[in-house]
Amino acid sequence: MSFNLQLSKKLFIFLGKSLFTLLEAMIFALLPKQQKNVAGEIVLITGAGSGLGRLLALQFARRGSVLVLWDVNKEGNEETCKMAQEAGVTRVHAYTCDCSQKEEVYRVADQVKKEVGDVSILINNAGIVTGKNFLDCPDELMEKSFDVNFKAHLWTYKAFLPAMIANDHGHLVCISSSAGLVGVNGLADYCASKFAAFGLAESVFVETFVQNQKGIKTTIVCPFFIKTGMFEGCTTACPSLLPILEPEYAAEKIVEAILQEKMYFYMPKVLYFMMFLKSFLPLKTVLLIGDYLDIFHAMDGFLERKKKL
């Protein structure tokens, strides 16, 4: 009897808490959550030398954050540093770092800790794309995709998460992709690396939740193509549903999601609906939708770049 009472009590508590969380979500859907203040927070952004990383840096510069900029491209990174200073930030630090190299990540991370302090917002943004069909993609390029797009997240988490745990304060931001949600023709290695980055971020979040580390937040960002040059030549057949995103708009909305501490942030919003459909529709129906939206040929015009973004 006592066992049944315990089960009933647990069920009622679960139902009560579930109802509360649903109501809370509905309220915040109507009344957006207040943005947190990041003035003085140490924000590290990988791939800050150009593209989305640069724009994210400028967004945080305007909010008074202390910036730590990482990029393999020293010239581009220093240019972002100057732009951030012009935007009003007084403390900005640029480090040349190849995030695909574990030893280099750990070395530069130690340098950051000594010279700047404990990173409280980590934005893993650095990425590369080969844009080749699976069997046409050389092994070394596939390995490089994983090294930059996924493994770099492992090493930066290992380097900066311990201090966040000790301080019970921090924010882990994973810039994944819509290609981290669904497989895309011509992006096998990229999709796999972005799926992996998504899975790592989600798993580490669950670990912090289980260990009751409520001060550590996670945001996983999955945008469609952004006009940064990384996917130059790629197209969309339905720009009203799946627009190629303007970089400034994307950066602004991503920072808003971080400051509102959203766990998942997909751009455009139709991606939420598409993932819902994918979860229960028959495979043939899903393929018909993809064919109708011409998603399978989005990479046909891709123009390869040698530059990391």
Write the CATH number for 201: 3.40.50.720
For residue 5, what pLDDT is reported? 65
Domain that holds residue 260: 35-297
Instruction: List residues with catalytic annotation.
Output: 190
Please indicate, yes or no, if residue 13 is contained in any of the structural domains.
no
Q: What is the CA radius of gyration of the chain?
A: 20
Give the separation between CA 253 and CA 267, rounded to whole angstroms: 9
Per-residue model confidence (pLDDT) at position 308: 39
| Inside any domain, residue 150 | yes
Mean pLDDT across the chain? 92
144-197 pLDDT, tens digit each = 999 999 999 999 999 999 999 999 999 999 999 999 999 999 999 999 999 999
Spatial separation of the C-alpha atoms in residues 218 and 36, rounded to whole Å: 14
Which of 67, 72, 71 shows the shortest CA–CA distance to 56? Answer: 67
Q: Each residue of 86-102: pLDDT tens digit? A: 987 779 999 999 999 99
The answer as to whether 68 is a domain residue is: yes
Label residues 264-289 b or e (16+ Cβ within 10 Å = b).
Answer: bbbbbebbeebeeeeeeeeeeebeee
CA 41 to CA 251: how far, in whole Å?
A: 18
| Residue 287 belongs to some domain of the structure | yes
**How distant, in Å, are the alpha carbons of 71, 157, 188, 243, 294 from that of 304?**
20, 30, 15, 21, 21
pLDDT of residue 19: 78
**pLDDT exceeds 60 at position 1:** no
SS3 219: strand
**pLDDT at residue 303, rounded to an integer:** 83
20 located within any domain: no
Residue 189 lies in a domain: yes
**Structure-model confidence comparison of residues 88 and 307, the more confident one:** 88
Mean pLDDT to the nearest integer, 249-265? 97
- Looking at the structure of the chain, the number of domains it has is 1
The reply to whether 29 falls in a domain is no
